[in-house]
Amino acid sequence: MAGDRFHGRVTNPGRLCDRPGCPEAGEFRAPGPRGSSFDGPGDYRWFCLDHVREFNAGYDWFEGMSAEEIMRAQSPINGWERETRAFSPTAGIDSAPRWADFADPLDAISKRARARRPAERADGRLLSPDERRALDALGLPLDADRKALRERYSQLVRRYHPDRNGGDRSYETRLQGVVEAYQLLRKAAAFA
């Protein structure tokens, strides 16, 4: 019956299919490892439509895996490596950090903390966080001098300019970013 296709769907933003590695939303309930008893209602597993069908058909995805591998497959930390989580329709709506954006969340945090402070160059001159981001955008090292800045700028403008790409405007956004970064840095104290 066509109308029954999604019978039993229970949406819950952020809940993923329990099938290891599946990035789909877990919207269909299946009995979990612990059944209902005196202790209370049992656990449930949540799967996407395809995988609840497989589950009901008796598949065992954990077959042949060691206890350690099963733990790893089900661990929330495992989600940090699931890039697809960041692209699910509900990603970013709640306040949870989008760890999946980063291969290493702790590294991302320390990078962000560093980016809020001015950076000191070998010549003792300071770069504001904005200036530092602009340097990154141009792919220049912290200690680049004025000459390197100008050379890199003209190199990137040639690379991204439509006139140099047969009128192709697909690099327009990058060109704009390069121009903005250069405009900021040429006035920066560090490049005076």
Q: Strand pairing of 119-120 and 126-127? A: antiparallel
- Does position 140 bind Zn ion by CB under 5 A? no
- Does position 85 bind Zn ion by CB under 5 A? no
Phi-psi label, residue 29: left if phi above 0, alpha if psi -120 to 50, beta otherwise = beta
Closest to Zn ion by CB, 53 vs 146, is 53
Closest to Zn ion by CB, 84 vs 165, is 84
Nearest CA-CA partner of 115 in 127, 101, 98, 105: 127
Interface residue with Zn ion, options 17, 134, 149, 175 (CB under 5 A): 17
Nearest CA-CA partner of 93 in 11, 173, 188: 11
Q: Strand pairing of 119-120 and 44-47? A: unpaired
CB 137: neighbour CB atoms within 10 A? Answer: 17
Least separation in angstroms between residue 27's CB and Zn ion is 10
Least separation in angstroms between residue 88's CB and Zn ion is 12
Segment contacting Zn ion by CB under 5 A, of 11-19, 67-75, 85-93, 144-152: 11-19
Instruction: Tell me which residues in 45-64 interact with Zn ion (CB under 5 A).
Output: 48, 51
Coil, helix or strand at residue 30: strand
- By the 10 Å C-beta count (0-12 exposed, 13-18 middle, 19+ buried), 101 is classed as middle
Which residue(s) pair with 37 in the sheet?
40
Least separation in angstroms between residue 41's CB and Zn ion is 23
- Does position 148 bind Zn ion by CB under 5 A? no
Least separation in angstroms between residue 47's CB and Zn ion is 5
Closest to Zn ion by CB, 15 vs 174, is 15
Least separation in angstroms between residue 112's CB and Zn ion is 32
List contacts with Zn ion (CB under 5 A). Answer: 17, 19, 22, 24, 48, 51
